[in-house]
Copies of this chain bind each other. A is one copy, B any other.
């Protein structure tokens, strides 16, 4: 477009009843309105969420238990101190430690088609191949059911799980959920079938060059086979090659290993409630990341949302009635020990967590909030919608939760989650592409602003 035209004033739209159903009794508290506007102006002027994120990503990948994860803990602790947050401290959590090692190689060898490198990476938690690698024929399947039906054909083979994420799902997290069992349990199923390794199509939409890692698991009683992800482009090449030469061989070599557990930390800082300090509104994200990129969207962006939300509340002098606490958890990616240890810590005695909101869906344009706890709770949060709409938050509905905060549900906390646009998330997720440059400063900041406003309203109004 060319010359400035009559723009569509988004704010106006919201006053036309178009989206007004859920706001039969909206809060028309002008103080809240003013606070929300102050937070928004400050956020969009300074874009400090991106500055926080750049500090985090500069450390590099923050694999659970790694020295870089420890550096991130110290960075965030110091950042919280510098922001003048209350009660800044670390809470220990003993976490597992898996390392990728130096060597990762994949190769297709066919007497008909020649040799081709395949872009692969070990899955998190996997055992390594023998030192010289392993080579075997390949059995391609789209599901565990198909694998089971093939019976003896799997014996001695690399089982190649090649079910793509369904592109027709508009919510890409749904497509992820439907395809992820291949990654998580592919090695178990391959072992049961008599295979020698699991090779899993990367969980991303479309064709790309980069493998996407992620957690895999073993089960007692099944052999612990090496498991690796292959890029979607590699998977398509391998699949086409198998049609031409079903006898082709794949070589895999990985050197990953599980080391001894180490002590790491959740990082905690808060704005103490002026009236009910023991009532906590927790804003959470996870500080650990996968090791291939910089963990920018997953979950550096979430960390930036939380720290920036606290900074905005602090600098606009909001003085919440209840405590607004930021917790950057350790070890979401390998099993959530940080979240569990936080919930059961001695320090929780005398505290009451009213609500816990997690940001762990990337730093894209925020479009909604998922709210657990049933209809009445949802309706209460929906009554604040007019304060969030100007940001582009267009729905508040059932949902919420996350690995880190879910242990708090037991003690009655309402779980919530910020939901950004999902279209681009899996382009980056768990891959070398998840770097600072993949995050847009304004999209990220809008998420932080929305989190700050919702956190503030929860602190003032309770739930």
Contact = CB atoms under 8 A, between A and B. Distances in A.
Interface string A285-321: 0000000000000110000000000000000000000
A261 to B, nearest CB: 18
Interface stretch (A3-11, A248-256, A344-352): A3-11
A87 interface: no
Q: How many copies does the complex hold?
A: 2
Contact of A8 (B17, B170, B360, B398): B398
Contact of A1 (B9, B299, B391): B299
Interface residues of A, number: 79
Nearest to A425: B1
Interface string A1-26: 11111111111111011111110000
Given A22-B19, A395-B18, A1 B401 contact: no
A5 B7 CA distance: 39
Interface in A184-238: 184, 205-206, 214-215
A327 interface: no
A115 interface: no
A298 B16 contact: no
B399 A44 contact: no
Contact of A403 (B5, B171, B403, B443): B5
A421 interface: yes
A240 interface: no
A392 B367 contact: yes
Contacts of A153: none
Contacts of A47: 167, 206
A48 to B, nearest CB: 12
A167 B423 CA distance: 25
Contacts of A272: none
A76 interface: no
Interface in A82-138: none
Interface of A: 1-14, 16-22, 40-41, 44-45, 47, 167-168, 170-171, 173-174, 176-178, 180-181, 184, 205-206, 214-215, 298-299, 332-334, 360-361, 365, 367-368, 370, 382, 390-392, 394-403, 417, 419, 421, 423-424, 427, 429, 440-443, 446
